Chains A and B, each alone.
Chain A
Amino acid sequence: MGRRREEASGDAFRIAGLVITCQALGLIAMALAGSAGRGGDSSWAETAFWLGLLLIVGPTTARLASAAPERTERIILALGVGLTLYLAKVLIWPVQFTFHDEFVNWRTTADIISSHHLFLENPLTPVSASYPGSSVVTAGVAQISGLSVFVSGLIVVGAARIVLMLSLYLVLERVTGSSRAAGLACVVYAANPNFLFFDAQFGYESLSIALGAFLVYLALRPLPSHVRPALPGVVALVLVAAALASSHHLTSWLFAAGLTAAVVISCAVRRRPPFSLPESGLAVAAVAAIATAGLWLVYVGVGAVSYVGPVLTGGGNGVLHLIEGDAAPRTLFVSAEQVSPKWEQILSFGSVAIILIALPFGLVMVWRHYRSNPYLLFLGGVAALYPASLALRLTSTSTEISARLSEFLFFGVAGILGLLASRALRDGVGQHLWPGRRLALCVTVAITLAVGGGAIISWGRWARLPGSYLVSADARSVEPQGEEAAAWAETHLGSGNRIAADRVNGLLMGSPLGGEQHPINGLADGINVNSVILSKRITNSDLQKIADAGISYVVTDARLSDGLPLTGVYVNRPEWTASNPVSPLAAAKFGRAPQFNRLFDSGDIKVYSRSMRGWP
């Protein structure tokens, strides 16, 4: 018996080692994908990317589906898949920030370090300066360790990813009573479209979602029966809730609402008042989350309402117009006339179909067998919202809402589907159809496909890997000519100048790379300079706008006329929906106008200042 146990332990070690090695090999494939993309070999880059994803997710899921692993191994593998998928993003873009929100957060962090204080204006996204949690933590790490903001940011987001995965695992293990279900749920969570890139970037939401999950973990932590949740426990919950409230508006609001809903359900199921629940920390966490989020909104983050409000109302109106037949559905898988290949469309539909087919079985399972478990009821309720959220992807104004909700709804989807898979494997469901290990194989394939589909839905194909310059394509538009022009601005123009520029050059010049210029936009200034950048002629109205806005410099980029904008806008929303690329005259017009001097020429990018002549 002892020898058999040793042999089983040895086998488990070998298999676990093999799985972890596959994860590491997956990272090598991701690194090769990034390098190949930069080198212009996009087909090999994509092959390496998908191979890497398969190596990271497939063997891990297969092992987690097995009954063999001990709890420790499940935790290591679940943490491993979350961390390696984060490192995949780091390896694809390893030396600098490249995503839009990363430049925004970089500016806020640099401002904190240079000024030693918070809440300096950030014209790139004004509301981000009011929710500086991520920037504060990164600034603190940079100042304490002496590391650069880039490296500190990577470490902070990596630490947040560890907190997120461990919190998710430990909460779901407690709620489901199954380490197998918790492990599988962690991989299902990785299928949420924002997991691979959006929540892995150096942005203000990446930290907040981890803090939210950690708050739930702390609130549900099992305590010895003789201990009461006295003041020290309350202090811990308030501390984390306060950190969450300072980090991101939507995340703090949604977690406050979710915790409240969980308390209400728990009270209803257990027929007890909130602070008499077995997990009394839950009610404390809900109160702390509501109080801190509310106080922060009132005293610091009031701008979040005007930032989030239009997105919600615009999305709602879009859905109403669609229902009433006044608008056609958005064409899926198309960005600026770039169409995703058929196999990607099939995979992404397939991954959604897998979830939609499995979800009803999971919800029925919860109702039949876990009706007395308030937390599974809560997770079921959250998961049930997922199908409705998909409808929001059918209009251009509401697709953003669906995208941003996914990482929250997937807490419910992951919990329910992880438990469903675990029960099916444990009970041998469908053994007559799938004898032996075939059910485990089916579960593995289904979850792996779901993660792959999530990666496709996340961002357009053009955004997943580096490559040649694309028009208004965020990371695919960040390249040496733009970076060098921004560096010139920082050296020769000083900082804080009000400029008119397109989306990407405005981002580069508004970041610390470009001297933190002030690109004029609707968000920060309520001024729309799209016509200044995009129209073929300079009108008196444009000149008046430049004068009224106090714009000192105009940045033009001739490459805008090479194609349609991949992100949907050349400059800022609202912008007319272009069916043809902007005219080359838009950039060239300043060269003929007597009102402008040309200070800088790097071929495509030119910088103009205001001359002494011809102004209204």
Chain B
Amino acid sequence: MIRRVMSHTWILGAALVLLEVESLIGPLESAVLQAVVGLPLAFILPGALLGRALTDRPQGPRAADDLVVALGLSLSILAVGGVILDLFDFGLRPMSWVIYIAAVLAAAEAVRHMRGHEPNRLDFTFARSIDPRVPLVVLAVAALIGGAFAIAVTGAERQEGPRVTQLWITPRASPGTYQIGVASYNGQSSSFTLDLREGGRKVRSWRFGLSRGQSWQAVLRPPPGTSVRATLFRRGDRSPYRQVFIRSNSF
């Protein structure tokens, strides 16, 4: 009875909803599971079921029509769904999306049943008619595309462009104190001297080395009403490399 009444795709959708809930809040929290389950739940099933319920399939070959309806309606369901969810206080959250999609799947199955359409069957008999060379071609093309992505991502992550050193000074939450910091993004290790002047008078100097991605920080407590100026020099170079200043310490 259940097999006659319910679509295979609806059963699949219900299973994915449960898995999605599991991945969000259950003990089996898993980013991979969430992605694997979430993508068809977002992109394919709502549109496929709603399309089957609301429209009538054209005569003749239908794969392209089925795909465009599944994707197109899924995108529309998400776009409109966001506006609907925005009306509620809880808004657009992972769980509210899942509940919304589950509601769409249930409504689609109910409409399909009321219209007397045949239940969707997951029919894999078409696989027997596929040329055995097709999977080989698909694999070969997928390998080429994967190679293209590997080239692109590797190239982008080795992006050329000047990597610089930053010097900054910012007020801290505690009045009258400042955070001073240096961050190095240069390709090689660098040695620095940082001179601190308060009210025009040199009060302190630090020497340190930084490798790429490293940073150095210190806390300053200058006298109230004085100016603060920090100048960064590269070791062996007398010209200022970076400079920051506070005109008048207000505290």
Interface residues of A (CB under 8 A from B): 13, 17, 20-21, 23-25, 27-28, 30-32, 34-36, 38-40, 71-72, 75, 87, 90-95, 112-113, 115-119, 132-133, 136-137, 139-141, 143-147, 155-156, 159-160, 162-163, 166-167, 169-170, 207, 210-211, 214, 217-218, 221-224, 227, 232-233, 235-236, 239-240, 242-243, 246-247, 466, 468-469, 479-481, 484-485, 488, 492-493, 594, 596-604, 611-613
Contacts and interface: CB of A to CB of B under 8 A. Distances in A.
B161 A481 contact: yes
B35 A147 contact: yes
A20 B69 CA distance: 24
Contact of B34 (A75, A112, A146, A160): A146
Contacts of B144: 21, 24-25, 27-28
Contacts of A147: 35, 38
B94 A137 contact: no
Contacts of A112: 82, 92
Contacts of B154: 35
B35 A145 contact: yes
Contacts of A167: 68, 72
Contact of A28 (B72, B148, B165): B148
Residue from B145, B247, B248 with most neighbouring chain A CB atoms (10 Å): B247
Grouping DSSP codes into helix (H, G, I), strand (E, B) and loop, the A interface class, with mixed when no group exceeds half, is helix
Q: Interface majority SS on B: helix, strand, loop or mixed?
A: helix
Contacts of B192: none
B56 to A, nearest CB: 5
A13 B131 contact: yes
B185 to A, nearest CB: 6
Contact of A480 (B145, B151, B163, B165): B163
A613 B148 contact: no
Contacts of A611: 246-248
B168 interface: yes
B244 A601 contact: yes
A243 B83 CA distance: 9
B25 interface: no
Contacts of A600: 166-168, 244
Interface in B20-58: 20, 23, 31, 34-35, 38-39, 41-43, 50-51, 53-56, 58
11 contacts: A31-B151, A39-B160, A91-B148, A116-B93, A140-B92, A147-B35, A155-B43, A156-B75, A167-B68, A242-B83, A612-B250
B108 to A, nearest CB: 10
Name the residue in B35, B157, B250 with the highest tally of chain A Cβ atoms < 10 Å from its Cβ. Answer: B35
Nearest to A484: B185
A139 B149 contact: no
B78 to A, nearest CB: 4
B79 A145 contact: no
A394 B144 CA distance: 42
Interface in B73-131: 73-83, 86, 90-94, 97-98, 101, 111, 115, 131
A542 B71 CA distance: 52
Given A139-B82, A484-B164, A146 B31 contact: yes
- Interface core residue of B91, B111, B244 (most chain A CB under 10 Å): B244
Contacts of B148: 24, 27-28, 30-31, 87, 91
B97 A488 contact: no
A222 B56 CA distance: 9
Contacts of A13: 131, 133
Given A28-B147, A492-B170, A602-B165, A239 B76 contact: yes
B65 A170 contact: yes
B68 A115 contact: no
Contacts of B163: 480-481
Closest 7 A/B residue pairs (Cβ): A35-B155, A136-B82, A116-B91, A145-B38, A24-B144, A243-B76, A243-B79
A94 B156 contact: yes
A488 B111 contact: no
B153 interface: yes
A217 B39 CA distance: 24
A28 B151 contact: yes
A26 to B, nearest CB: 9
Most interface-central of B38, B115, B155 (chain A CB within 10 A): B155
B141 interface: yes
Given A117-B86, A136-B78, A145-B38, A31 B250 contact: no
Contact of A20 (B38, B133, B141): B141
A91 B146 CA distance: 11
B168 A601 contact: yes
A601 B162 CA distance: 15
Contacts of A71: 61
B33 to A, nearest CB: 9
A139 B131 contact: no
B240 to A, nearest CB: 9
A597 B247 contact: yes
B75 A612 contact: no
Interface string B214-249: 000000000000000000000000000011111110
B43 A143 contact: no
A222 B73 CA distance: 17
B5 interface: no
A348 to B, nearest CB: 27
Given A166-B64, A221-B65, A602-B166, 10 more contacts: A140-B78, A163-B71, A166-B68, A236-B50, A236-B73, A240-B72, A479-B161, A492-B179, A601-B243, A612-B248
Contact of A141 (B38, B80, B155): B38
Contacts of A469: 161
B55 A218 contact: yes
A598 B91 contact: no
B67 interface: yes
Contacts of A594: 247
Nearest to A160: B75
B152 A34 contact: yes
Contact of A38 (B20, B42, B54, B155): B155
Given A35-B155, A137-B75, A246-B79, A613 B247 contact: yes
B120 to A, nearest CB: 16
A32 B140 CA distance: 19
A223 B56 contact: yes
Contacts of A247: 79
A488 B166 contact: yes
B234 to A, nearest CB: 12
B79 A133 contact: yes
B137 interface: yes
